Amino acid sequence: MMSLEASDMAILRSLSGYELSLEVTKMSAKYGLPEATIAAMLPSQNSTESNRFEDYDPSPKVTSNPPLVDNNYKDYTSSAQVVNKSNFRFEYDPTPGVSQRRQNIDQAIMCPSCGVALGIPAIRPIKVTCPQCLQETTFTS
């Protein structure tokens, strides 16, 4: 069995984590040995270190904890909260074609995420991206 030079072993012993795995890969190419063999030469710091160089098992693991329910979850595919559009001024818009888009505004709705007023046509379903918070919402009614 081939062994590594003392200076290379000292380098490997001084490293841990990702740096160690990079150095083991480099030493594997330098000495022509498999990574698992080089890892076996190192003094085992804990059992997880040696298992890192084995093949990854993608099979699902059984967990005893049930999944957590996010109480802050908001359903962003909901009906629009329509407000009176006469209360808002949709006047400042420097982009071309603003007069055509202003004619298409039939409703003012509130963004369900941040509460800013949005002017939209009455077409449903409609996907709207809020310019304030960039939350994308699909309104169905």
85 and 46 within one domain: no
Check whether the bond before 58 is cis (ω within 30° of 0): no
Residue 91's domain spans which residues? Answer: 81-139
Confidence band, pLDDT 50/70/90 cuts, at residue 33: confident
SS3 136: strand
65 falls within a domain: no
Mean model confidence pLDDT for the chain: 76
75 falls within a domain: no
Would you say residue 6 has pLDDT above 80?
yes
56 falls within a domain: no
0.75 exceeded by pTM: no
Would you say residue 64 has pLDDT above 70?
no
Q: Which helix (H) or strand (E) holds 13?
A: helix 6-14
pLDDT tens per residue across span 100-138: 777 788 888 888 888 888 888 888 888 888 888 888 888
Calculate helix-pair angle for 6-14, 17-31, nearest 10 degrees: 160
58 falls within a domain: no
What DSSP line would sit under 97-128, residue for residue?
Answer: THHHHHHH--EEEE-TTT--EEEE-S-SSEEE
Residues 6 or more apart in contact with residue 50 via CB below 8 angstroms: 39, 40, 44
Confidence (pLDDT) at 77: 53
* Beta-ladder partners of 137: 128
63 falls within a domain: no
Number of domains present in the structure of the chain: 2
Would you say residue 12 has pLDDT above 80?
yes
Confidence band, pLDDT 50/70/90 cuts, at residue 16: confident
Confidence band, pLDDT 50/70/90 cuts, at residue 139: confident
Query: What percent of the chain stands above pLDDT 70?
Result: 66
CA 19/CA 87 separation, integer angstroms = 61
Confidence (pLDDT) at 70: 60
135 and 94 within one domain: yes
Q: What are the φ/ψ torsions at residue 58 (nearest 5 degrees)?
A: -80, 5
